[in-house]
């Protein structure tokens, strides 16, 4: 490991430390950041201010779907910036209409609202549900335990994890949690006030747990029976990451009746803009005009610049068949991760995921000798070791490691990632 990642010189160490000092004086300390200051990137590699190279299997948390400094994104940004960056939504622009059509084409009959982030896309779905149930006095949205839906006041109420709610009470009313992948529990939880059920197709922050086909199909039937909206949060698992445009399309591809499945609303963000901040939600046709003029708005959302970038990303993914490539490479990596779980059961308990949304479940911290006495979680300590080995990964919960690389990750880069993972795991076994 040492020869691959030499220690930075004293001068460079000072550079990292001075950057960190500027942060500690001026930036709200709401993030527990790793001790890395990044400077630039190319493809699936990023470089820190010390010139150290990292293989980026974190992908900016499932955002940089074409990697770093992709020429097509640079071109879309610069060409569109020369024409029109922003207009507000008082007017029509060509890119927003085209982008909405591209999204509708890939999900199903309906319409799209463009936002600036994932949490705003979810907020739109909450408002859609409230409006849908308003005249009947229904407002309650059921969400799953261990879910993650963002950090606004409504979204932390929706998120099924206590850690995001702590000290921010009283919670926004109208959200209740049900166990994930448990259809009976969903049925039992419905009250006269319930108007919608919202889940992630694959829980991301919660530890990379896919919904089962039976759960998705069962929720669809249950929502039809009880006149509820079925809402999917596709912010992390969407945009071809699983090998299909949306995760429900991959999860249900072999399920009888799966081809007819559609949610009533679906939120997107992360990879949609490939690093340019943007989000969107799609609403199924019968409800697509529910949010009428004046009901919802954003100043920045759907700007010509954002939409030009998103359109270019669709074009590149399609042209280079990155969906199929993500699927093939992801399936190979999952097999490798499962092999590591078999060879090193004292360190790795399990591996799961779909396409390039992968999770490695570590053993309990106490049973990994090198981690037992550290005050950080197993996930954080493991991530630090991966950084030292020159690979970026994302921790989730206390002992899940997530891999969310670019969809254009190359086979030899995937191989490099797996061998670095194996080195680190071996050193802990
Ligand atoms: C990241 C994420 C969000 C929040 O998106 P932001 O762009 O950070 O607001 C919501 N839901 C899921 C599933 C996410 O992974």
Q: Per residue of the chain (429 residues), what is the pLDDT tens digit? A: 445 666 666 666 679 999 999 999 999 999 999 999 999 999 999 999 999 999 999 999 999 999 999 999 999 999 999 999 999 999 999 999 999 999 999 999 999 999 999 999 999 999 999 999 999 999 999 999 999 999 999 999 999 999 999 999 999 999 999 999 999 999 999 999 999 999 999 999 999 999 999 999 999 999 999 999 999 999 999 999 999 999 999 999 999 999 999 999 999 999 999 999 999 999 999 999 999 999 999 999 999 999 999 999 999 999 999 999 999 999 999 999 999 999 999 999 999 999 999 999 999 999 999 999 999 999 999 999 999 999 999 999 999 999 999 999 999 999 999 999 999 999 999
Q: Indicate whether 282 belongs to any domain.
A: yes
Domain assignment present for residue 357? The answer is no
Spatial distance between the Cα atoms of 394 and 61, rounded to a whole number of angstroms: 7
Place of tokens 């990994």: 368
Residue 172 domain boundaries: 73-319
Helix (H), strand (E) at residue 37:
none
Residue 50 in domain = no
The answer to whether residue 365 is domain-embedded is no
**Dihedral (Cα; 58, 61, 67, 71), 10-degree rounding:** -160
- Domain annotation covers residue 237: yes
- CATH assignment at residue 107: 3.40.640.10
* Distance from the alpha carbon of residue 87 to the mean position of ligand 1, in angstroms: 26
**Number of the ligand 1 atom closest to the C-alpha atom of 205:** 15
Q: Is residue 15 part of a domain?
A: no
Assign residue 207 a region: left if phi > 0, alpha if psi is -120 to 50, beta otherwise?
A: left
Ligand 1 mean position, distance from CA 343 (Å): 34
Assign residue 169 a region: left if phi > 0, alpha if psi is -120 to 50, beta otherwise? Answer: beta
Ligand 1 pocket: which residues have CB below 6 Å?
117-119, 122, 148-150, 200, 204, 233, 235-236, 269-270
Residue 422 domain flag: no
Residue nearest atom 5 in ligand 1 by C-alpha distance: 118
Could you write out the DSSP letters of every residue in 273-324? GBTB--EEEEEEGGGTTSS-TTS---SSTT-HHHHHHHHHHHHHHHHTTHHH
Contacting residues for 311 by C-beta, under 8 A, at least 6 apart: 76, 95, 98, 99, 102
Number of domains in the chain: 1
CA distance readout (Å), 210 to 28, 200, 202: 34, 8, 4
CB 403 within 8 A of CB 393: yes
Q: Which two tokens stand for residue 236?
A: 């992390």
Whole-structure pTM over 0.75, yes or no? yes
- Ligand 1 center from residue 100 Cα (angstroms): 20
- DSSP bridge pairs for 395: 401
Q: Considering the domain boundaries, does residue 173 fall inside one? A: yes
In terms of Cβ atoms closer than 10 Å to its own Cβ (0-12, 13-18, 19+), residue 375 is exposed
């Amino acid at each position: 490991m040492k020869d691959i990642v030499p220690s930075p010189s004293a001068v460079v160490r000072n550079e990292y430390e001075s950057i960190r000092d500027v942060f500690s004086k001026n930036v709200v300390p709401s993030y527990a950041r790793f001790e890395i200051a990044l400077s630039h990137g190319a493809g699936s590699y990023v470089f820190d201010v010390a010139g150290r190279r990292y293989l980026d299997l974190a992908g900016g948390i499932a955002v940089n779907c074409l990697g770093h400094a992709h020429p097509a994104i640079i071109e879309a940004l610069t060409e569109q910036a020369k024409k029109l960056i922003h207009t507000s939504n008082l007017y029509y622009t060509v890119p927003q209409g085209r982008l909405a059509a591209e999204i509708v084409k890939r999900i199903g009959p309906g319409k799209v609202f463009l936002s600036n982030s994932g949490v705003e896309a979810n907020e739109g779905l909450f408002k859609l549900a409230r409006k849908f149930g308003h005249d009947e006095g229904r407002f309650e949205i059921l969400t799953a335990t261990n879910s993650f839906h963002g950090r606004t006041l409504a979204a932390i109420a929706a998120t099924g994890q206590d850690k995001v709610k702590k000290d921010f009470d009283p919670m926004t009313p109208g959200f209740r949690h049900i166990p994930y992948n448990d259809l009976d529990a969903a049925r039992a939880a419905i009250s006269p006030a319930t108007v919608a059920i919202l889940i992630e197709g694959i829980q991301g922050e919660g530890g990379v747990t896919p919904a089962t086909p039976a759960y998705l199909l069962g929720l669809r039937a249950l929502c039809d029976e009880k006149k509820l909206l079925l809402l999917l949060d596709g912010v992390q698992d969407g945009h071809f990451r699983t090998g299909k445009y949306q995760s429900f399309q991959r999860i249900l591809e072999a399920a009888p009746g799966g081809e007819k499945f559609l949610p009533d609303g679906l939120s997107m963000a992360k990879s949609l803009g490939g690093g340019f901040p943007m989000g969107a939600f799609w609403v199924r046709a019968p409800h697509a005009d529910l949010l009428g003029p004046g009901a919802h708005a954003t100043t920045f959302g759907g700007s010509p610049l954002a939409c030009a970038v998103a359109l270019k990303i669709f074009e590149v993914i399609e042209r280079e068949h990155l969906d199929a490539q993500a699927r093939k490479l992801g399936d190979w990596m999952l097999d490798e991760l499962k092999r590591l779980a078999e060879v090193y059961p004292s360190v790795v308990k399990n591996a799961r995921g779909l396409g390039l949304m992968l999770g490695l479940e570590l053993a309990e911290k106490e049973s990994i000798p090198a981690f037992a006495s550290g005050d950080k979680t197993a996930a954080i300590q493991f991530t630090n070791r991966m950084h030292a080995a020159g690979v970026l990964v994302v921790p989730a919960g206390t002992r899940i490691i997530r891999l969310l690389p670019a969809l254009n990750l190359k086979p030899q880069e995937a191989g490099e990632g797996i061998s670095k993972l194996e080195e680190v795991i071996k050193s802990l076994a």
